[in-house]
Structure 1
Amino acid sequence: MNNASAAPAPARDRAPGRVWLITGASSGFGRAIAEAALAAGDTVVATARRPDVLEDLVAAHPDRAVAVQLDVTDTARIAAVVADTVLWYGRIDVVVNNAGMGLVGAVEETSDRELRELMDLHFFGPAALVRAVLPHMRRAGSGAVVQMSSMGGRFTFPGVGGYSATKFALEGLSEALAAEVAPHGIKVLIVEPGSFRTGFAGGGALRRSPALPAYEQTVGPVRTGLPDSDGKQEGDPDRAAAAILTALAAEDTPLRLPLGNDATDGVLASLESSRDEVLAWEKVSRGTGFNG
């Protein structure tokens, strides 16, 4: 079932398990999370720009899976999908903001258009989906928002400044969101994967800005190395999906969940470096008040 208007309308008490709404479910983490939720006995509304690629998932779980067309940069469509999901199933228990793409380029190489398109996809779209879902979760007094960020949402390096900027923005929004909705029984989980075999580094999921010779030394290795890593990454998307379900099921769900050895090592090193820098400049930082 590829269109929201063609979906079934089961009664609220007949929706098995939790009801998930997942963006970017056609492949990668989105697909893995959808499969893990279905394996757990839950119900999944899997969205994609081309929902026909999800026909096998729906065929395998005809009573608990539906594929819906959604471009998360289309805020009017977001509102319609949320409204239809609540109409069919009576609730949305978990929303997963997963749709995304990569961008490699030095800051000087990256155009305004590239930055704005990426921000629409990684920030404004997810923010709109969260706003659309929250009234229903607040009425239910429960729910979970899963924000698929990246280890690049915690720290960054040459060549991925534009990508990381969108993830930094998403994480800042989500940290505040978590404190705002906690009194309503709603959890927020920010997921920070490292390198996983999701297809992210290859094909149409990764864009590269036109290169300037001045940045060959700093950005060149990323420009060539990231696509070359496709299919060779250490991370298993299915294990990542299982880790996400484990975190959501925990009584004390973490705000942030790095996934993979590279993400865990990178986050720890970044935190240590940040602490060292603050301590090194602590005297200057504290000496900026009025005297007396």
Structure 2
Amino acid sequence: MIKWLVTGASSSIGYGIALAALKAGNRVAVTSRSMDNLQKLTAQFPDQCFPIESELSDAESMKNAIEKLNNFGSIDVLVNNAGHGYRAAVEEGEKDRIREIYETNLFSPIKLIQEVLPHMRQQHRGAIINISSIAAVQSGVGSGYYASTKAALEQISRALQEEVTNLGIKVMIVEPGGFRTEFYGENLKGTEHDISDYAATAWKTHKKNVKNDHREPGDPIKAGQVIVDVIRKDNLPKTLLLGSDAVKFVNDQLAQRIEEIRDWQNISRKTDY
């Protein structure tokens, strides 16, 4: 039986992944800030689901979670899904909030990757799935800190893909578009350091101005099933886009980047010896 670890599994895409993996007959360790939030999964799959309470931005909580994982056993599939947004202009960013979002979205996933790799290397098999965002391709106004955590996670993942390519370990980046989750609700953090010069730009995306109307095109349950189905394949994409909006957004952004490179290539080449 394959053993999975899915962080942030109490709702949204993380819940969808855990549910699909459990339905496929796997054992799944799931994490959340609150054990109460995991009851739906544990009640439905009492013999397969292993709940762990963990605050990923807290070092002691992470240590305790990893100790509990030792009772679950070695992980075959790691899904770094847990994370949240933070809305602030770059100048409005608060030191504690910046540190917290990096701990949650970047440093904790790195720690878990380092924890699972020894077993995967020994077995010459395993899979690591890092849930990123289309924001890693192009940040939105007022979302630079969140986007930077995801961009950093992607570059770590790309290096890892090359480092373990001959060890039988799969590494896949997932870039979701808009999904009907709590990303824009209670999971979204916001600055309290307002600077009025950003009223016409970053303030438009401040948390207090964001409406969570749940009209996004993406279905988290379908996303979870797609990821579980894809990870079974021998040949994986290095980056898997999720959602028709994600496909359009990334296509448009890359086309603009290529156009800019062409427009400025004569200047760019002037630095050669």
Relative to the length of structure 1, the TM-score reads 0.87
- Residue of structure 2 equivalent to 1:65: 49
Please tell me whether the aligned partners of residues 189 and 207 of structure 2 are also in contact (alpha carbons under 8 angstroms): no
Name the structure 2 match of 1:96.
79
2:83 partner amino acid? G
Instruction: Please tell me whether residue 207 in structure 1 is matched to residue 196 in structure 2.
Output: no
SS in 1 for 2:128: strand
2:31 is equivalent to residue 37 of structure 1: no
Write the letter of the residue equivalent to 1:182: T
Task: List runs of 5+ in structure 1 lacking aligned partners.
Answer: 1-16
Within-5 A mapping of 1:147-162: 147-162=130-145
- Which runs of structure 2 are paired with 1:85-124 in the superposition (5 Å)? 85-89=69-73, 91-124=74-107
User: Match for residue 289 of structure 1?
Assistant: 272
Amino acid at match of 2:129: V
Instruction: For 1:143-222, list aligned pairs within 5 A.
Output: 143-203=126-186, 205-210=187-192, 211-222=194-205
| Range 30-39 or range 281-290, more displaced | 281-290
Supply the AA of the counterpart residue of 1:68: I
Q: CA deviation at 1:247?
A: 2.1
User: Partners of 1:200 and 1:166 in 2: how far apart?
Assistant: 15
Tell me, yes or no, if the aligned pair for 2:218 and 2:243 is still in contact at 8 Å.
yes
Q: Which residue of 2 aligns with 1:23?
A: 7
Tell me which residue corresponds to 1:250. Answer: 233
Amino acid at match of 1:116: R
Deviations 1:88-117 (A, max 9, x none): 44x311111111111111111112222111
Of residues 273-282 and 158-167 in structure 1, the stretch that sits farther from structure 2 once superposed is 273-282
From 234, 239, 247, give the equivalent of 1:264.
Answer: 247
Contact 1:138 1:186 in 2 (8 A): yes
Q: Distance in 2 between matches of 1:107 and 1:201?
A: 19
Aligned ranges 1:268-283 → 2 under 5 Å: 268-283=251-266
Alpha-carbon RMSD: 1.9
Consecutive unaligned residues of structure 2, counting only runs of 5 or more, are: none
Q: Which amino acid aligns with 2:167?
A: H
Larger deviation: 80-89 or 266-275?
80-89
What whole-Å deviation, never above 9, does each CA across 1:219-260 have from its counterpart, x for those lacking one? 233236973144221110011111212221222111111111
CA displacement at 1:80 relative to structure 2:
5.3
SS in 2 for 1:157: coil
Q: Which amino acid aligns with 1:208?
A: G
| Contact 1:154 1:267 (C-alpha < 8 Å) held by counterparts | yes
Greater Cα shift, 17-26 or 169-178: 17-26
Q: How far apart, in 2, do the equivalents of 1:281 and 1:97 lie?
A: 38
Q: What's the offset of the Cα at 1:125?
A: 0.8
2:182 and 2:210 mapped to 1: Cα distance? Answer: 9
- Percentage identity across paired residues of the two chains: 38
1:14-66: per-residue Cα shift (whole Å, max 9, x none)?
A: xxx32101111111111111111111111100111212221231121111111
Could you tell which deviates more after superposition, 106-115 or 184-193?
106-115
Q: Take 1:84 and 1:51, find their aligned partners in 2: how far apart are those partners?
A: 14
Q: Which amino acid aligns with 2:264?
A: W
- Paired residue secondary structure (1:66): strand
Matches of 1:153 and 1:40, distance apart in 2: 31
CA distance in 2, matches of 1:226, 1:69: 31
